[in-house]
A and B are shown apart, each in its own frame.
Chain A
């Protein structure tokens, strides 16, 4: 319960960071709050959660051997609570393994 109380006072961005780091052991994690770009669109009327839309770039060894859709499923699974509490959408701009990342750098 103590940890739940602690996560409750963190911003959603911080919670996303904590949850993805622990679930996916991310080696690179970029989280960008783009909620302002979506404020006022049809589905957001009445949503007061504030932090609703994020862009993510994730590098994780857990993605190894998985298709893109299954990589995204891992992310959504890790953030299931957030999605149920006002997180509206994620744009997962990159979901790579450390090996794939180093291959693109060469």
Chain B
């Protein structure tokens, strides 16, 4: 059986809520700060936002470095919220490799961070061994022409050895 691995994605402390963390049960985490009209602008978390953008980039870098197959998608692997994300997951699952995923619907800031990291406008976005592979159409293509099997074979082999 294929197990999706979520546990390896340790986050810098304090950022868990701000990242739209994909949880196996589909638990949603708040990703926005409630706007309070009574709050003076001095108390708006502007610096925090800038910091978290920088940190989000770090998180993306860490995600793709630490997870052999990393998917930024709409929804979660067991409940994709877009046909393209569903297609990418369906294809990747054929190879029985550990999949790590984050739900970008829950976090627009993470979504923007991923887009600027890969310089790619749409989702899902699939990274294999740190390299940006593309979206669902490319994943399907690489599956059909056999290249995906080559890319994933050592990941699948190391999983069997575990």
Contacts and interface: CB of A to CB of B under 8 A. Distances in A.
Contacts of A42: 74-75, 81-82, 105
Interface in A25-52: 37-38, 41-43
Interface in A2-61: 37-38, 41-43
Contacts of B84: 89, 91
Interface residues of A, number: 18
Interface in A62-106: 68-69, 72-73, 76, 80, 83, 88-93
Interface of B: 74-75, 81-84, 105, 119-122, 132-138, 141-142
B135 A41 contact: no
Contact of B83 (A41, A73, A80, A93): A41
User: What DSSP secondary structure best describes chain A's contact surface?
Assistant: helix
A19 to B, nearest CB: 14
Nearest to A69: B134
Nearest to A83: B121
A83 B133 CA distance: 20
- List 4 tightest A-B contacts by C-beta distance, closest first: A42-B81, A69-B134, A83-B121, A92-B137
Contacts of B138: 68-69, 72, 92
12 contacts: A37-B83, A38-B82, A43-B82, A43-B105, A68-B134, A72-B134, A72-B137, A72-B138, A76-B121, A80-B121, A91-B84, A91-B136
